[in-house]
Amino acid sequence: MTQSHPINKKINENAFEMIKLISFLLMTCLLAFGKTNANAKPTIYTIGDSTVKNGRGDGSGGLWGWGDPLVQFFDTSRVEVENHALGGTSSRTFRTKGLWQPVLERLQPGDYVLMQFGHNDAGPINDDFRARGTIKGVGDESEEIDNLLTGEHEVVHSYGWYLRQYIQEAKAKGAIPVVMSPIPRNSWKDGRVPRNDQSYGLWAKEVALAEGVEFINLNEKMASAMEKLGEAQVTGNLFFEHDHTHTSAKGAVLAAALIVEGLREAENCPLKDFLLENPTINFPEKKKVFLIGDSTVAGGSGEIVGWGRELPAFFDSSRVETINKARGGRSSRTFLYEGLWDELVPQLGRGDFVLMQFGHNDGGNIDKAKYRGSLRGTGNETQEVTREDGSKETVHTYGWYMKKYIADAQAKGAIPIVVSMIPRNRWKDGKVERASDSYGKWAREVAEQTGAFFIDLNEAVAAEYEAMGAEAVSAFFPDDHTHTNSAGALLNAKILAQQIARIKECPLRGAVSVSGQSH
């Protein structure tokens, strides 16, 4: 047996130690990677303009981008979908406004970036209004400007240059880009929808091919689908008559379905592995709007109509279902005492709404028939009442009952909206009598104390009545000074819808169609 030379032995020992060290470092990296990514899901990021995400993505005005329904086509137990598009942006301003950087910083290997730009790239390169245009084409031309809108010096590039930056930067992070051509506008000529295959659709395709990434010709796919339906079926269905660029919910679903079709056709895009085989598309998710209150809210009968009967006409019926649980003769007290509220609570779901208006009957008898009066104010005072049948009832303040409705709704994940009672047809010196020192005031206080939304319908309707004049308003009240006919109810419902639409933080505003024509 030969002995190894001492030098060789030392070399072997050093090599062995080096191998152990490398193995240790590799194992450490693998373990660290496993700890942080064992349960991580890839994320699909969508970037683009308002045809990808309209407004806040809440369907305001019935308009949606395709990035919102897209999530329903994917197995979300295996992949996340995040819509980062913003209306009004171009391939240029999505970068300059700082919208791309947060997405880029979050990108992980195996994530996806779906991009669609072009609708706004044709605008002016430099003006004091939007300054969002890009140089046409895919070349390396550039233009130096002093931006009239931002006041900053800027180098503006071509549409294709900006797309290349998104693609290359996403790739550098290990993400997988997918490029879409812009959806078509609802413009028709001789029974056909004009394509953009000689402009932004063409340039998007050229960039995708040059960069070796998937391209989905969404413009062609959707234009063809629209032509199969015909202009009469598209307008008012996939697009609304007043807007030829932004899709309705149905139009957004069609665009998303065509993107999915394109992903399935793609040969080298693993994103299709996350698609559901038979997705159930429920978009937009319909929420319930429950109404509680007295006869001025209830549907009514004959000539007497509450605003709750007319309110659904001012909502997008594809987004919300209005359920009127108001009942004539009830106060904030009796609606609870009679079990009407307890019947409703189990029906509430997360994201539903409860509009509540009480006050007209709360000033009635507390301890005599009809036993519907509540204590004044919003405090915790109580009064024990013995009813005609000998039973005992603890009566609370108007505010206490309202707070209970709010708390119960919030506990179910529903969104309460407190509405002050409509004014009575009572006038003094040319002014309508307000409830601003009583139930209107207490309704506001309750909303503020509980974090509920508040609408001062009492004030808004009174102001409208005064603008119309007492004689015109009298036609709304056929029998008394409290209850309206259908015309009065319609006016009150319209004013309420307008007030809801003005609350920027309220999700229900997106479902309001103040024109009274539901989509």
Bond before 370 cis per omega within 30 degrees: yes
Whether residue 176 contacts residue 170, with contact meaning beta carbons closer than 8 Å, is answered with yes
Angle between helices 439-450 and 457-468 (to 10 degrees): 140
**Separation CA 433–CA 436 (nearest Å):** 9
Average pLDDT over residues 209-235: 97
Residues belonging to the active site: 295, 480, 483
Per-residue model confidence (pLDDT) at position 514: 67
Average pLDDT over residues 487-502: 97
Nearest CA among 353, 479, 483 for reference residue 424: 483
Nearest CA among 355, 289, 299 for reference residue 518: 289
Return the structure tokens found at 339: 């079990």
Average pLDDT over residues 218-232: 97
- The 8-class DSSP code of residue 80 comes to E
Average pLDDT over residues 449-464: 98
Name residue 96's amino acid. T
Average pLDDT over residues 50-62: 88
CA distances from 422 to 220, 297, 300, 343, 489 (A): 52, 9, 15, 25, 10
Per-residue model confidence (pLDDT) at position 13: 52
Name residue 404's amino acid. K
Quick one: 32 exposed, middle or buried, by C-beta within 10 A (0-12, 13-18, 19+)? Answer: exposed
pLDDT greater than 80 at residue 84: yes
Model pTM above 0.85: no
pLDDT greater than 50 at residue 218: yes
**Separation CA 424–CA 154 (nearest Å):** 60
pLDDT greater than 80 at residue 37: no
Q: How confident is the model at residue 40 (pLDDT cuts 50, 70, 90)?
A: confident
Per-residue model confidence (pLDDT) at position 401: 98
Q: How confident is the model at residue 286 (pLDDT cuts 50, 70, 90)?
A: confident
**Separation CA 286–CA 289 (nearest Å):** 10
Nearest CA among 142, 63, 138, 52 for reference residue 88: 52
Per-residue model confidence (pLDDT) at position 515: 56
**Separation CA 63–CA 510 (nearest Å):** 9
Q: Is 189 helix (H, G, I), strand (E, B) or coil?
A: strand
Per-residue model confidence (pLDDT) at position 274: 97
**Separation CA 52–CA 87 (nearest Å):** 8
**Separation CA 468–CA 475 (nearest Å):** 11
b/e map of 294-327 (b: 16 or more CB within 10 Å)? bbbbbbbeeebbbbbbbbbbbbbebbbebbbbbb
Q: How confident is the model at residue 2 (pLDDT cuts 50, 70, 90)?
A: very low
**Separation CA 70–CA 81 (nearest Å):** 8
Segment 475-493, tens digit of pLDDT: 999 999 999 999 999 999 9
For the ranges 19-28, 264-273, 317-326, the lowest mean pLDDT is seen at: 19-28
* Cross-strand pairs, 321: 288
Mean pLDDT computed over every residue of the chain: 91
Segment 128-148, tens digit of pLDDT: 999 999 999 999 999 999 999
Return the structure tokens found at 401: 């009952």
Measured at the CA of 218, the angle between CA 215 and CA 221, to 5 degrees, comes to 120
pLDDT greater than 50 at residue 272: yes
Percent of the chain at pLDDT exceeding 90 = 84
pLDDT greater than 50 at residue 345: yes
pLDDT greater than 80 at residue 48: yes
Per-residue model confidence (pLDDT) at position 23: 41
pLDDT greater than 60 at residue 519: no
Neighbours of 331 (CB within 10 A): 24
More confidently predicted of 253 and 37: 253
Per-residue model confidence (pLDDT) at position 61: 76
Q: How confident is the model at residue 14 (pLDDT cuts 50, 70, 90)?
A: low
